[in-house]
A = this chain, B = another copy of it.
Amino acid sequence: MNAPTGRLVESLTLPQPYLLFLGDTTEAGFAKTAFGLADWAPDRCVGEWAAAGCTVTTGLPLLSPAEAKAAGARSLVIGVANQGGVIGESWIAVLVDAMEAGLDIVSGLHARLGAVPALAEAAKRTGRRLIDIRTPPADIPVGTGRKRTGKRLLTVGTDCALGKKYTALALHRAFAARGLDADFRATGQTGIMIAGGGMPMDAVVSDFEAGAAEMLSPDAPDDHWDLIEGQGSLFNPAYAAVSLGLLHGSQPDVFVVCHDPSRSVILGLEDFALPSIEEVIDLTIRLGRRTNPAIRCVGVSLNTSRYSAEAAEALMAAERERLGLPVADPIRGGPGFAALVENCLG
């Protein structure tokens, strides 16, 4: 295994276990940090808490900050990300309450916790810490496009928030189970919280975006795999710059397209139709071959969480037939997912 390159977060020790905070979220897609932690680090989450108006849940017990503190929690993690990554007005009283209950605040939002006067004041008064994990290292180099040793897989998507991190984590678990030498490379706040290291790609200055991705997955032994968490989508009119810099810098040998078949428009931008899986495959190859001419699509990860097991299997079978590629839901696993793993290695 290679030393992780996420130098920023390497030096952070996040106070655990966590209380997950869901804000006033009404759309599950915006609470992906909370869901990711509940699924991939459940032993480090004592419960969840929310502000008025919240309609989503991770399924963890609902605990007030005081109850969470009594249950052993050491920090409240902001588990939601709205458009723009700002701190919701309605969240502030809850965060102050959590600090008064003895919890530190951990955030992966763009907005800095300490920039909100009420939070800065409460932190000072209670002696609690405000921890922003989204500050990239200061010394990111410009990209070079130089071909690096080792193997790389990138998860890409038809949109944001539909399974790119889950898919990379599930593949990492499957690769590890086969005894393969593999690292999960985190690129977003939740992934970094789960992995304890990584590169917050969407917080990097755009001129250094490809360079940051190069830094995240350095030269490695020939049989080593980096399984890189994708960000955004080449088709998302707000975030495609992040996706392209990550694609060029990651120079993946293989990629998996992540898709939510229940979604027809871009999350939060309803005038934009979701691209087809074929369009994503085609554009990813066209752009990705600039830094890795051998790039290929090894399969599709379908987020079928809104379908019954039967409907999901029918859907995946139809997609396999149509695309001629392995199609699986990593959350459901099974032989479909094993075939996807096989095709990564083949």
Contacts and interface: CB of A to CB of B under 8 A. Distances in A.
Number of chain copies forming the complex? 2
Interface residues of A, number: 40
Interface string A32-56: 0000000000000000000000000
B205 A202 contact: yes
A218 to B, nearest CB: 16
Interface in A236-284: 237-242, 244-245, 248-249, 269, 271-272, 283
13 contacts: A83-B142, A143-B238, A143-B239, A144-B237, A144-B238, A145-B271, A145-B272, A205-B205, A205-B206, A210-B239, A237-B290, A240-B245, A241-B245
A300 to B, nearest CB: 21
Contacts of A240: 210, 244-245, 248, 287, 290
B203 A207 contact: yes
A269 B145 contact: yes
B238 A142 contact: yes
Interface in A29-82: none
Contacts of A206: 201-206, 209, 241-242, 245
B202 A207 contact: yes
A275 to B, nearest CB: 9
A286 to B, nearest CB: 7
Interface string A93-123: 0000000000000000010000000000000
A154 to B, nearest CB: 15
Contacts of A110: 205, 207
Most B C-beta atoms less than 10 A away, residue of A142, A145, A238, A245: A238
A21 interface: no
B290 A209 contact: no
A84 B138 CA distance: 13
A38 to B, nearest CB: 24
A191 interface: no
B238 A241 contact: no
Contacts of A272: 145, 290
A203 to B, nearest CB: 6
Contacts of A202: 205-207
A235 interface: yes
A163 interface: no
Interface in A121-160: 141-146
Most B C-beta atoms less than 10 A away, residue of A110, A146, A203, A210: A210
Most B C-beta atoms less than 10 A away, residue of A141, A146, A235, A287: A287
A291 interface: yes
A85 interface: yes
A254 B139 CA distance: 37
Contacts of A286: 283
